[in-house]
Structure 1
Amino acid sequence: MSDTTSSGLPERTTLHGIACIVALCSFGYELVYSELLTVVYGGTVTQYGLTIGLFFSSLGVGSFLVRQFDDARHSNFFRTEVYLALSAPAGFLFILWVNTAVLPQSLPDEVLQVAARLPVVIVGVLSGFELPLLLSMVDSETGQSSPPGWVERIGRAFEHGTYQVLSAVFRTDREGTEYDTYSTVLAMDYLGGLFGALAYVFVLYPRLGLIPSVFVLALLNCLAAVLFVAQFSDGGRSTDGYGLSIGSPGHRVVLITCLLLTAVYAGVVIQHQTVDDELTGYYMESLIEDEHPQDTVSASITGQYTTRNQQVVRYERSWNGESENQLFAGESDTCLRLDSAIQLCDSWAGSYHHGLVDVPMTMYENSTQTEVLVVGGGDWIAANYLRKHTVRVDQVDVDGEFMNRAKHSEFLERYHDDAYEYDNLTVYEQDIYTYLQQHDREYDLILLDLPGAKSDDGLQLYSVEFYSMLADRLADGGTVVTWGYSGYTYGPHHKAYMNTVREAGFDHRMGYYAYNDPNADGTDQLGERFFVFAPHEPQSTIVPANGTEYVRTHGEQYRSVDWSETPRYAGVEPNSVFDPNYDLIVETKIKRDQ
């Protein structure tokens, strides 16, 4: 058999290139599944750890099972790539289905979680076939074909440099060839894994989103299979195991399947935004509806996009329940969601920011002499409320893309009123930990306008270390204000959170509610719960007479609010960056009766 492919390229060079491409795809699938399972079940460390462990163990299983294959290495490799291109997106859709379908309540959650990880195993086993087949094909190639001259020159320079380094610590031999086949193929495989990680982290996920990423990788898998069959096809002649015959009916079926998948995935990639919107809507609508009593609320996604840091979803929720709607006035309510946490809804956006900003501002002078730090608040609404108090504001938010989009968002504009143009506002686009380490400015008031603790991604913002850093940035009489979950509904979270704050030095707290009339029936209801924390003896309390019209209207309720000692609960560990307490993570999904 000739040592060049039908295109004239050396066979080994072609196989090395294909090894890099398929490794990129396989590692990319692993990252996509890890992130998907994190979105669905929460717990980044848990999901990535389990997925990586399952994937690598499945690679081993696949490598072992290759022993059962016959000598048709080229045919089996081609089939492997087609099966991977088919099963990876199908597995992605299966995981979504498992977590949105109405299944019998008697089915244990553990069974569903095991089922959701079957695609990881399948893709891992198929990927495990690749390397042994590639090694066998490269090893079987005859002749001493060489790569293009420039590639050979780069290779020789690299080999010379590494030889000098390795000779200092290992026994080396420049003339040895016993490792040539394995070392080169393995190097391309590992290099492909690096390319897959870089492509996913810097291109696919931030620019396209999670759902289109799996189809881009599958398309690349199909193209690798097409390239392989184009380079190694024997034109339909019978094969003795060293070529790829496309003349037999079985091979023609696989080839046609590959070409159809290539066409379908190409169409999906071209229309990736439409596909992303449809599948995101399918999943998110089910997730949102599950957060309300059964058959009471329906959700419709009206817009979504993905930044490097989070997924942003806007949706309309409508009341379908037989009882009176206590959630919002009118037929629907527009809401914004960041990942799995609700950012705000029309029905309570005003009352929330009155509680976050207007209430604590009654304790401070309304002038530029008052220094305020806003952590989060990328929708600019908190900045708008602070502008009305004429204070000096520093705002720190890690997601610059979300902040830029929020400036001109039709939904958010009516709430922030171009607050980003406020003369006394300074914005820092960076992680809050980095900001606190780089700046030593002290603040009278720190407002935490952050998403809830829905996964371990946000646990560092509920840690002893974080609150200790905040305490160090408070001026005399300074306080930290944040919204919080109900201690009655989320008892374990509340206890862990209070012990964390107390451990960080905040010995005093003051709790109050925001009040609103979400369904416009003329009766105020309790809204969000807020806490004010102080590390030293408090110097002031809420003074409704100094407040806005909202605070004065509810002056009777706020006059009764006073400081108390931050509780400490026995037997509950505080949350630390290095010793997390996962009781802080809250689950808002309501179990369904079947």
Structure 2
Amino acid sequence: MEAKLAMARHKVAVLLACTFIVAACGLIYELLIGTAASYLSGQSAYQFSLTVGLFLGAMGIGSFMSRLVHRRLLEAFLLAELWQAIVGGFSVCLMFGFFALSDWYQVGIVAIILVIGVCIGYELPLLTRYLRNYGPLRTVIADVLSLDYLGGVLGSLAFPIFLLPTLGLMRTAFLVGLLNTFVAAWVFVTFRWQIEGRRFFALIIAGVTALLIFGIANSLRWQSWLESELYDDEIIYAKQTPFQRIVMTRWRNDLRLFLDGELQFSSVDEHRYHESLAHPAMSLAKGKERVLVLGGGDGLLVREVIKYPQVRTVVLVDIDPEMTKLAQKHPALLQLNEGALQDGKVQIVNTDAYKFLMDNLRPFDVILIDLPDPNTESLARLYTLEFYRLVARNLKPDGIVATQATSPFETRAAFWCIIRTMEASGFKVAPYWVAIPTFGIWGFAAASKEYRPDLKKVRLTVPTRYLTEPLLKTMAIFPPDCSPVSVGINRLDNLLLLSHYLRPTSFMLNGSTRQR
């Protein structure tokens, strides 16, 4: 009798442990697919909302379908777990393949989510019903749901902290698929005398496990090949960090940097961008001793700043230490930024720009903001009224700030939203634009708390490849199709800028705006 009770407790423990693991796997799949979709298509809020919504709907369908199973609950569970392992394990690989090699990306991602979601929703009721054989329904439901939620917590923590930065998207997917096959094997071994078709399930478990191990062994090669299909040029560097996917490509003398699939610069014309951002502010600044650069971890903007002999300190704030390390060590990038980040004047602080501004106590003469475009909530918050008030607090009374402000042509409403938001924070703002072959028409803004910067008064005292004083006098003149439009203020509680940016107002390239 005691042996039977011990066996029963063992079986209950196995099924509850499997519930925990399955829940963790399910949430990791959601995060994996949402992250991969954001990387491939941009618009992270839209992609994650779509992913979560489809997952929940599919889980509901799976739960409903479980009512059709009247017997052989464990066999039904094993089949669902193996389907989840094979589709979930290959999910990221399939997504990259659909995106790079076919026109069926949207259909493919929906199919992947539906299969995984239906399996997840299908399994939990089956486990609950089977566990009723070992205890009252009240206890069973409490145990199953509590472990389901706790497994979700583990998955939500493990993915961003360990799995993504350590293994990357594709290997993480294969590893989670192997966890699913482990669950299937564990249940199969524990309940082997109660399962029909033991030889069939043993072969299927072994086959799926072998496929996933093969996938892990080849994942780096597959990812490299599929990722190369996403870019026109040869990939010379690629790394997933906790913050972003960094990719550098090269074709002849054209070195390009991509963050999460979005172009940041082309070495052919990056000097136009960085000179236009740095020199109007640096030339007009009454003091140049302390300069703050927010973003710009590639070192190209700092390269322009340290041309001025009056500069004593440059503080570069970039959230990703891997980006600033790359700018200091990779030969191609080091040559392009002329070793700027190795200069003794430069201090690198790897933290969030918002946090730095909140904590900093010493004001700056010049603040240059070279942040990525506001295409996600986390980036749009760095263009808010509250953010620019922090910028003003960190700027000396006669100091000057300059920022990139997206395209006044492709994202016209977003550009003028940034200008209006800076004005609302107390700055006197001078918007201007420049033509950059890679990006098209690109917008900037120079501002001060005491005066409106006048580009006509800029006197260039350092060497430049693109900017000239006559050219500067024309950069504040906007053509009619880039002229001001009526827009609101971007605040933390509305992030109005994000909707403006994701809804481009004019020229589009391949279905989406060019992004930097």
Name which of 175, 178, 181 aligns with 1:219. 178
Match of 1:521 in 2: none
For 2:360, give the aligned amino acid.
Answer: H
Match of 1:378 in 2: 297
The secondary structure found in structure 2 opposite 1:278 is helix
For 1:10, give the aligned amino acid.
Answer: H
For 2:403, give the aligned amino acid.
Answer: T
Q: What is the RMSD computed on CA atoms of the aligned residues?
A: 3.3
The structural deviation recorded for 1:231 is 2.0
Deviation digits for residues 426-469 of structure 1, max 9, x if unmatched? 22211111111111322221111222233444211222221222
Aligned length: 501
Q: How do residues 524-543 of structure 1 correspond to structure 2 at under 5 angstroms?
A: 528-538=442-452, 541=455
CA–CA distance in structure 1, aligned partners of residues 322 and 285 of structure 2: 32
CA–CA distance in structure 2, aligned partners of residues 457 and 586 of structure 1: 18
For 1:28, give the aligned amino acid.
Answer: I
CA–CA distance in structure 1, aligned partners of residues 131 and 286 of structure 2: 76
CA–CA distance in structure 1, aligned partners of residues 113 and 245 of structure 2: 23
CA–CA distance in structure 1, aligned partners of residues 330 and 105 of structure 2: 38
For 2:461, give the aligned amino acid.
Answer: G
Aligned: 1:304 with 2:238: yes
Q: How do residues 185-584 of structure 1 correspond to structure 2 at under 5 angstroms?
A: 185-234=144-193, 243-247=194-198, 252=200, 254-282=201-229, 284-285=230-231, 298-316=232-250, 333-364=254-285, 370-390=289-309, 391=311, 392-513=313-434, 528-538=442-452, 541=455, 545-550=459-464, 554-559=468-473, 571-581=486-496, 582-584=499-501
Match of 1:65 in 2: 65
For 1:548, give the aligned amino acid.
Answer: V
Pair 1:257–1:316, CA change in 2 (3 A): farther
Is the CA contact 2:460–2:468 (under 8 Å) kept in the aligned structure 1? no
CA–CA distance in structure 1, aligned partners of residues 371 and 413 of structure 2: 20
Deviation digits for residues 290-337 of structure 1, max 9, x if unmatched? xxxxxxxx33333311111111011235xxxxxxxxxxxxx5622111
Of 401-410 and 125-134, more deviation after overlay is shown by: 401-410
The structural deviation recorded for 1:556 is 2.2
Pair 1:414–1:586, CA change in 2 (3 A): farther
CA–CA distance in structure 2, aligned partners of residues 501 and 568 of structure 1: 17
Is the CA contact 1:341–1:452 (under 8 Å) kept in the aligned structure 2? no
Is the CA contact 1:62–1:124 (under 8 Å) kept in the aligned structure 2? yes
Aligned: 1:590 with 2:510: yes
Name which of 108, 115, 125 aligns with 2:118. 125
More helix by share: 2
Match of 1:327 in 2: none
Unmatched 5+ residue regions in structure 2?
A: none
Pair 1:571–1:485, CA change in 2 (3 A): closer
Match of 2:11 in 1: 11
Pair 1:388–1:334, CA change in 2 (3 A): same
The secondary structure found in structure 2 opposite 1:362 is helix
Q: How do residues 157-168 of structure 1 correspond to structure 2 at under 5 angstroms?
A: none
The structural deviation recorded for 1:65 is 1.6
For 1:585, give the aligned amino acid.
Answer: L
CA–CA distance in structure 2, aligned partners of residues 381 and 279 of structure 1: 29
Pair 1:333–1:415, CA change in 2 (3 A): closer
Pair 1:394–1:68, CA change in 2 (3 A): same
Is the CA contact 2:45–2:376 (under 8 Å) kept in the aligned structure 1? no
Is the CA contact 2:73–2:126 (under 8 Å) kept in the aligned structure 1? yes
The secondary structure found in structure 2 opposite 1:302 is strand
Match of 1:326 in 2: none
The structural deviation recorded for 1:529 is 4.2
Is the CA contact 2:284–2:458 (under 8 Å) kept in the aligned structure 1? no
Is the CA contact 1:465–1:576 (under 8 Å) kept in the aligned structure 2? yes
The secondary structure found in structure 1 opposite 2:233 is strand
Is the CA contact 2:281–2:401 (under 8 Å) kept in the aligned structure 1? no
Pair 1:542–1:271, CA change in 2 (3 A): farther
Specify the structure having the higher radius of gyration (Cα). Answer: 1
CA–CA distance in structure 1, aligned partners of residues 274 and 374 of structure 2: 19
Is the CA contact 2:404–2:444 (under 8 Å) kept in the aligned structure 1? yes
CA–CA distance in structure 2, aligned partners of residues 228 and 5 of structure 1: 17
Name which of 132, 142, 145 aligns with 1:139. 132
Deviation digits for residues 59-106 of structure 1, max 9, x if unmatched? 232222211113111111111110111222455455445544554xxx
The secondary structure found in structure 2 opposite 1:426 is strand
For 1:48, give the aligned amino acid.
Answer: F
Is the CA contact 1:477–1:539 (under 8 Å) kept in the aligned structure 2? no
CA–CA distance in structure 2, aligned partners of residues 308 and 545 of structure 1: 42
Is the CA contact 2:96–2:227 (under 8 Å) kept in the aligned structure 1? no
CA–CA distance in structure 1, aligned partners of residues 234 and 325 of structure 2: 25
Give the TM-score normalised by the residue count of structure 2: 0.86
The secondary structure found in structure 2 opposite 1:343 is strand
Pair 1:216–1:127, CA change in 2 (3 A): same
Of 370-379 and 56-65, more deviation after overlay is shown by: 56-65
CA–CA distance in structure 2, aligned partners of residues 31 and 551 of structure 1: 44
Deviation digits for residues 358-389 of structure 1, max 9, x if unmatched? 343222368xx622110011122322332221
Is the CA contact 1:459–1:584 (under 8 Å) kept in the aligned structure 2? no
Q: How do residues 29-108 of structure 1 correspond to structure 2 at under 5 angstroms?
A: 29-101=29-101, 103=103
CA–CA distance in structure 2, aligned partners of residues 38 and 515 of structure 1: 26
